[in-house]
């Protein structure tokens, strides 16, 4: 980082990072445990639409209120308690919306997401000397997008299984979409946008990282269905079928 460890801002930055990452890891681990529970408890039936609406509805409404009420965000320990409750509601909503999955699949997806988030947060926590923050963000995003696109093209050229190639491309698309979001969050936590490190908003920052994890997990859990849909849409026989449908509608 640009500040030395003995600098006051540097010490505050390290302290804030430890608090935020530590709290985020705790709630993410608890979320992974919740995701595994339906496969271990026969009485838990998922997906459950009613439970999803209730958990997400209350959780998102509480998050909006908590974010907008500044004095509430600064009242220790109530800020941590409220964020913990919101995290539990959103995690339960995610568990309710997804079908039952094997614990091994959940662990593999979780490891991929955590690996991606750690890399992007590390990139966001580092600032090149004399570089504008926004320039580093967008140039890094551009380079990453070029590399990811090259890998995708090479994969499609060498793979005979198109369906597997589409699934891999969807993973890379997720990385590209999350790059500016998580890097921006890392820069905010580090105080690189003309702000101090968010010492008083540590619970909220941890909650935002949990939201990143939940969004990524839901997307990756649906990749099988999304990949299969794209696979059949791009098949020549499917295109001919859709062309015939269009011709029939025109007539």
Residue with tokens 């026989």: 237
- CA 55 centroid distance within chain: 19
Confidence of residue 29 (pLDDT cuts 50, 70, 90): very high
Angle at 137 between CA 135 and CA 141, to 5 degrees: 115
- Please tell me the predicted confidence (pLDDT) of residue 5: 46
Confidence of residue 2 (pLDDT cuts 50, 70, 90): very low
| pLDDT of 162 higher than 60 | yes
Angle at 136 between CA 132 and CA 139, to 5 degrees: 130
Q: What average pLDDT does range 26-34 have in this prediction?
A: 91
Is the N-terminal amide bond of 65 cis, ω within 30° of 0? no
How is residue 134 written in tokens? 């926004």
44 or 187, higher pLDDT: 187
- Please tell me the predicted confidence (pLDDT) of residue 170: 80
What is the spatial distance between Cα 181 and Cα 173, in angstroms, rounded to a whole number?
Answer: 13
Q: What percent of the chain has pLDDT over 70?
A: 82
- Please tell me the predicted confidence (pLDDT) of residue 174: 85
pLDDT tens column, 203-238 = 999 999 999 999 999 888 887 766 666 656 656 655
Q: Is the CB of residue 13 less than 8 Å from the CB of residue 190? A: yes
Burial category of 93 from C-beta neighbours within 10 Å (exposed 0-12, middle 13-18, buried 19 and up): buried
Full-model pTM: 0.82
pLDDT tens column, 113-149 = 999 899 999 988 888 888 888 988 999 999 988 888 8
User: What is the dihedral angle through the alpha carbons of 106, 108, 111, 116, rounded to the nearest 10 degrees?
Assistant: -110
pLDDT tens column, 44-75 = 667 788 888 999 999 999 999 888 888 888 87
- Please tell me the predicted confidence (pLDDT) of residue 91: 92
Determine the angle formed by the axes of helices 49-68 and 78-97, rounding to 10 degrees: 150
Compute the radius of gyration of the chain from its Cα atoms.
21
What is the spatial distance between Cα 89 and Cα 84, in angstroms, rounded to a whole number?
Answer: 9
234 or 22, higher pLDDT: 22
φ, ψ dihedrals at 198, nearest 5°: -70, 70
What is the spatial distance between Cα 157 and Cα 150, in angstroms, rounded to a whole number?
Answer: 11
């Amino acid at each position: 980082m640009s500040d030395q460890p003995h600098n006051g801002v540097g010490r505050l930055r390290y302290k804030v990072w430890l608090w935020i990452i530590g709290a985020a890891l705790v709630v993410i681990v608890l979320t992974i445990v919740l995701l595994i529970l339906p496969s271990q408890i026969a009485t838990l039936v998922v997906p459950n639409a009613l439970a999803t609406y209730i958990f997400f509805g209350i959780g998102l409404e509480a998050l909006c209120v908590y974010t907008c009420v500044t004095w509430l965000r600064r009242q220790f320990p109530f800020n941590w308690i409220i964020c913990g409750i919101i995290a539990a509601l959103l995690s339960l909503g995610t568990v309710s919306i997804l079908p039952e999955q094997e614990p091994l699949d959940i662990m593999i997806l979780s490891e991929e997401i955590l690996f991606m988030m750690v890399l992007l947060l590390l990139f966001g926590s580092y600032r090149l000397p004399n570089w504008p923050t926004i320039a580093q963000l967008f140039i890094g995003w551009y380079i990453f997008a070029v590399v990811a696109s090259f890998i995708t093209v090479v994969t499609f050229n060498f793979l005979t299984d198109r369906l597997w190639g589409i699934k891999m491309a969807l993973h890379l698309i997720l990385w590209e979409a999350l790059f500016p979001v998580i890097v921006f969050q890392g820069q905010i936590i580090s105080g690189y946008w003309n702000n101090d490190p968010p010492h008083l908003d540590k619970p909220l920052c941890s909650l935002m990282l949990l939201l990143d994890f939940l969004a990524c997990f839901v997307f990756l859990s649906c990749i099988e269905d999304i990949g299969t849909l794209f696979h059949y849409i791009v098949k020549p026989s499917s295109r001919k079928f859709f062309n015939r449908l269009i011709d029939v509608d025109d007539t």
